[in-house]
Structure 1
Amino acid sequence: MPRRVQELRNKVRVARRELTQHPGSPEPSLAAVAAHTGLTEEEVGAGMEALESFSTLSLDAELSSDDDGYSLADTLGSADASYDVVVDRESAKEGLRRLPERERAILYMRFFEDMTQSRIADRLGISQMHVSRLISRSCARVRADAMGQRTGRRGTGGHSATA
Structure 2
Amino acid sequence: MKKSRGGDAAEEAALLERIRENDDPAAKEKLFERYQDLLHRFAHKYHSDRLPYEDAFQLAALGLTKALKRYDATRGVSFITFAYPTVEGELKKHYRDHLELIRIPRPLRDMRQRIHNESRLIWEREGREPDIRTLAERLQASEEDIVEALAAGQCSHVFSLDGTWRDGDDDAPLSLFIGSHDPAFEELEKEMVVERALRSLSPRHRKVMELRLKRGWTQTRIARELKVSQMHVSRLIREAVGMLREECSLCEEPA
TM range (shorter): 0.3 to 0.5
**TM-score normalised by L of structure 2:** 0.33
**TM-score normalised by L of structure 1:** 0.46
Structure with greater strand percent:
2
Structure with greater helix percent:
2
Q: Which has the higher contact order (CA 8 A, sep 6+)?
A: 1
